[in-house]
Each structure stands twice: as C-alpha cells, then as structure tokens.
C-alpha cells in the first residue's frame, strides 16, 4: 500500500514539473521567446502538451517615437516675476503636449528691478537638454535674449493705511496722526500687486507711545508679492513724520487772572501733546486761575492757583486780643489772604482799617489794640 502511494505521488510531481509556467503569457497573452516548441533547451518532457508557438514580430511592440519641436529664442523680453521660464524667452512649435512641458522649464532667477541681463541661447539649450535629454529640439531665432526687469514704486497710500492701523493701538486719551512719510526713492518693486505690513516694530511704535514728544519714527515695512507663483518679499524702511495728540480741557473764551472756572467755560479737545495738561473736568470746575489764559488754550496744572481762605470783600470774623480777653467782631476783608498771611480788614464797629492774620477760612486774628 505504501509503495502504491509513493509511486502515485512521484508520477504527479513529474507531471507538474513538466508544465512550464509562462508569466509573460499570463500577463499579456503572448508567449515569451523562451517558451517555444521545445526545440532548444532539452528540458521538455516527451508527451507533454505544448502551446503552438507564434513567432514574435516587431509590430507587436510599438516603437518609441521621439518628439521633435522647434524653439525660437526671442531677442528681448520684459519680466515682472522673481523667476524666468522658457515660455518667457522662447516660443515653441510642434507637439502641443510637449511644448506645454517645455514652456514650464525654470531658467532661474530674473534680474533685479530696473536691471537687465543678456541670456545666451547656449545657456537655455543646456537647461532644456538637462531636463529633456531624449527629446529632439530644433533651435532658431536670436543668439541672445535681453531680459529687462520691470520696476514699480511703493504704494504710498497703502503704506500710510498700514501705519495708521498700527498706531490705533495708542493708549486711551492719545492718538498718533501720520502727517507724511518718506519712502525709498529707488523703485524696488516689480509691479503694483503687493500687500504691505509692518516687518519689524523695532520698538519704534511702542517708543512713540512711551515718548509722546517723538516727531519722527523709522518703521520697517514688508512688501509681499501677491502672485501665488512668487510670494517674494521686499523689505524697506519708511521714515514717518508724526503728530502725537492728547485729549485735554481748554477754555472756550479768554480768562483773566483770578477768574473762577465753570463747567460751561471749558471743553475737551484734541491738541498737540503737552505736559501737565488737565483732562478731568472735576479738577477744574470752581478753581481760580493763576494767570491769564487765551481762548482754546489748554489748561495746565500750574495755571491754577490755590484758593485763599479769605477772599476780598468777604464778611469775616475778627478775633481781637485785648489784655488777655478775646473779643469777636465782624469785619470786611479788604484783600485776599491765605492762612498765616497778614491782610487789611475793616472793623464794622469802629470803621477802622487794621492788619490781621488769617487763621482759618473766613477768620482772622487781630493783635491787641
């Protein structure tokens, strides 16, 4: 029984090995060159079924056709991008598909704005040959192409808007007015399609806030090319002429020395920055002026004077010391006075003018008579 199974297994194995596997035929439906009728390698098993052999021909595999195009180099070109492409310097005739691929070849960086560069045809040919070595390219046209880079000035209005937006972060009660800016005189941009932003504060803007007396600032501006294929940036410095203003209380009409301020005589206005200005009307109403103030002039802290305890014309109490006895009398102040200051008064009882010392509000002390 064992011998029968062994002989059956050997005969089945030989039959499997006798059938060669043709992978090319399974993939493409064509027999490979090695899978013939058994007339070459001597490994064929007699009696095995062989597929009929069909001789291969050159028409079965399509030949590789080389594309041929004609490139004509221009004699001049003006560029507005950061980089140059073959479509800028040359025109293409021939296969449209292949021409589209050729025109996208990157030829390197373009000249700086307001600059020119002469590109030799040999240089362009070498770049194309490196990218498409198997292609057949016929060249004609000029031997050199003069490339001129366009230039455009900085948009002053856009820069001013950017600066005004940044200075809006000024502290409460302060504002910064951009009076004028000075931009680079050289045209450094390639076109007008740029956006602007503050490149680096350099503490310039915050320095203006901390030192409102500043009249000038140098701010770095970054111009960003909005072309998606470029997105190049150009940095330059803008010199800004500033006017820092604050909100302060000013008098509506001229006021004389010694006049008392009322709520109707003052108002809040934007003025050029000054020190010691008063911005709270509660600190001014009812106060006396130390000196004369012109109309629309800001009120500073030193323009106010402390109100005396005794005003001229006030009815006051006079304390009279006479031989150790204190007598109180009514008098009229002939001049204003502060505590400790001697002023002239008139006693109502005797109608005499005497000197007295101010000791409290509406109260004076008269030495012994």
Mean pLDDT (whole number) for 189-202: 81
Reduce the DSSP state of residue 119 to 3 states and report it: strand
Superfamily of domain 68-149: eubacterium ventriosum atcc domain (2.60.480.10)
Mean pLDDT (whole number) for 324-336: 86
Q: Identify whether the C-beta of residue 343 lies closer than 8 Å to the C-beta of residue 356.
A: yes
pLDDT tier at 25 (50, 70, 90 boundaries)? low
d(CA 208, CA 84): 43
Q: Give the pLDDT score at 24.
A: 46
d(CA 279, CA 302): 14
d(CA 352, CA 330): 12
At the top level of CATH, the class of 315-366 is mainly beta
The model's pLDDT over 219-248, given as tens digits with 9 standing for 90+, comes to: 999 999 888 777 788 888 899 999 999 999
Reduce the DSSP state of residue 29 to 3 states and report it: coil
247-305: in CATH 3.10.20.740: no
Q: Give the pLDDT score at 162.
A: 92
pLDDT tier at 39 (50, 70, 90 boundaries)? very low
Say if residue 13's pLDDT is above 80: no
Domain limits, the chain: 68-149, 156-243, 247-305, 315-366
Count of C-beta atoms within a 10 Å radius of residue 116: 12
What DSSP designation does 190 have? S
Say if residue 282's pLDDT is above 50: yes
d(CA 85, CA 79): 10
């Amino acid at each position: 029984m064992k011998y029968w199974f062994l002989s059956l297994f050997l005969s089945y194995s030989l039959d499997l090995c006798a059938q060669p596997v043709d992978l090319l035929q399974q993939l493409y439906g064509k027999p490979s060159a090695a899978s013939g009728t058994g007339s070459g390698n001597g490994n064929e098993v007699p009696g095995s079924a062989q597929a009929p052999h069909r001789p291969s021909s050159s028409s079965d595999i399509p030949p590789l056709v080389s594309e041929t195009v004609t490139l004509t180099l221009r004699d001049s070109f003006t560029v507005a991008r950061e980089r140059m492409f073959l479509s800028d310097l040359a025109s293409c005739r021939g296969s449209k598909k292949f021409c589209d691929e050729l025109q996208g070849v990157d030829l390197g960086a373009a000249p700086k704005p307001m600059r020119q560069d002469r590109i030799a045809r040999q240089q362009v040919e070498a770049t194309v040959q490196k990218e498409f070595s198997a292609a057949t390219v016929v060249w004609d046209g000029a031997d050199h192409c003069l490339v001129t880079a366009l230039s455009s000035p900085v948009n002053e209005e856009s820069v001013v808007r950017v600066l005004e937006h940044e200075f809006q972060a000024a502290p409460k009660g302060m504002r910064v007015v951009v009076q004028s800016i000075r931009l680079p005189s050289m045209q450094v941009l390639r076109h007008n399609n740029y956006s602007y932003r503050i490149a680096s504060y350099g503490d310039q803007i915050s320095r203006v806030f901390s030192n409102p007396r500043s009249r000038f600032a140098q701010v770095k501006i970054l111009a960003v090319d909005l072309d998606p294929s470029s997105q190049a940036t150009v940095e330059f410095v803008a010199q800004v002429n500033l006017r820092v203003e604050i909100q302060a209380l000013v008098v509506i009409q001229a006021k004389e020395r010694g006049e008392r301020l009322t709520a109707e005589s003052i108002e809040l206005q934007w003025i050029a920055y000054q020190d010691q200005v008063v911005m709270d009307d509660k600190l001014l109403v009812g106060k006396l002026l130390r000196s004369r103030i012109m109309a629309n002039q800001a009120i500073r802290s030193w323009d106010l004077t402390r109100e005396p305890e005794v005003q001229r014309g006030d009815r006051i109490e006079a304390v009279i010391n006479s031989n150790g006895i204190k007598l109180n009398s009514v008098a009229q102040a002939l001049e204003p006075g502060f505590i400790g200051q001697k002023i002239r008064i008139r006693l109502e009882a005797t109608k005499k003018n005497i000197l007295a010392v101010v000791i409290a509000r509406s109260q004076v002390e008269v030495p012994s008579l």
